[in-house]
């Protein structure tokens, strides 16, 4: 299980050094939260992270799934995805998903296709359809992040995800979903997210907590 830390470009040099020294495996570059969204600036941060030995997830999150509007979104994917270890794009971004897939695959990088629901954990048949559609679009890793309103929601996501083929990231958000962030690897989840400074999602644990738990559990 890899530990990823979402960061913006504010004080990124300091944040990257701290992520590395504290034991993170990856940094998720939340470009939609960047102050400077010029592709050259984003690529510089990708290269800086990789020089430090950190893997990178390029994410320009859509406003439809918790992000902010980025007018040059596709340009960023075109210029930066070939150099990032992972690129994350939402299943709902159908207007650019095929082109982003082509960019990532042509560069031999890893494509994460993601689905977020900040309100609830959908019925099982909907979750299975998410997995099916993400595979159809060529996902190397399928990320499903949903809001857990009970421990049953968390258990349902993890058990259903365990039955789905391929690599996946299983996240139940909220206080009832913390278990998914700690023990998701048991159900096949390959990446978990931790925060440095401020949380980017409800139920996240700090990088210090996650690294310590990883040592204990793995």
Our answer to whether residue 116 is catalytic in this structure is yes
Specify whether the CB–CB gap between 77 and 96 falls below 8 A.
yes
28 carries a ligand binding annotation: yes
Distance CA 12, CA 42 (A): 11
Our answer to whether residue 214 is catalytic in this structure is no
Distance CA 30, CA 42 (A): 10
Distance CA 63, CA 60 (A): 9
Q: Which one of the listed residues 143, 175, 214, 215 is annotated catalytic? A: 143
78 carries a ligand binding annotation: no
Distance CA 176, CA 196 (A): 21
Q: Which two tokens stand for residue 97?
A: 């998903």
Q: Which one of the listed residues 15, 22, 64, 116 is annotated catalytic? A: 116
Q: Which two tokens stand for residue 141?
A: 């890793």
What is the three-class DSSP state of 92? coil
CA atoms within 13 A on the CB side of 116: 17
127 carries a ligand binding annotation: no
Specify whether the CB–CB gap between 141 and 86 falls below 8 A.
yes
Helix (H) or strand (E) holding 9: none
For residue 166, what are the contacts with CB-CB under 8 A and spacing of at least 6? Answer: 135, 139, 140, 141, 142
87 carries a ligand binding annotation: no
136 carries a ligand binding annotation: no
What is the three-class DSSP state of 116? strand
Bind-site residues: 28-30, 61, 181, 200, 204
Bind-site residues for 3-dehydroquinate: 28-30, 61, 181, 200, 204
Residues with catalytic function: 116, 143
């Amino acid at each position: 299980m890899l530990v990823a830390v979402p960061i913006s470009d504010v004080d990124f040099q300091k944040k990257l050094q701290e992520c590395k020294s504290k034991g993170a495996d990856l940094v998720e570059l939340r470009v939609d939260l960047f102050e400077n969204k010029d592709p050259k600036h984003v690529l510089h941060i990708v290269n800086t992270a990789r020089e430090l030995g950190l893997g990178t997830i390029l994410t320009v999150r859509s406003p439809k799934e918790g992000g902010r509007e980025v007018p040059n979104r596709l340009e960023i994917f075109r210029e930066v995805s070939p150099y990032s270890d992972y690129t994350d794009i939402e299943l709902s971004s159908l207007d650019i998903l095929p082109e982003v897939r082509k960019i990532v695959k042509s560069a031999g990088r890893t494509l994460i296709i993601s689905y977020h629901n900040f309100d609830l954990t959908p019925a099982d048949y909907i979750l299975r359809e998410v997995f099916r559609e993400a595979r159809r679009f060529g996902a190397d890793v399928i990320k499903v992040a949903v809001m857990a309103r009970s421990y049953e929601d968390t258990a349902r996501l993890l058990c259903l995800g365990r039955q789905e083929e391929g690599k996946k990231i299983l996240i139940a958000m909220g206080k009832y979903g913390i278990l998914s962030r700690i023990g998701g690897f048991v159900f096949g989840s390959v990446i978990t997210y931790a925060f440095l400074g401020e949380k980017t999602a409800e139920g996240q644990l700090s990088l210090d907590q996650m690294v310590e738990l990883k040592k204990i559990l793995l």
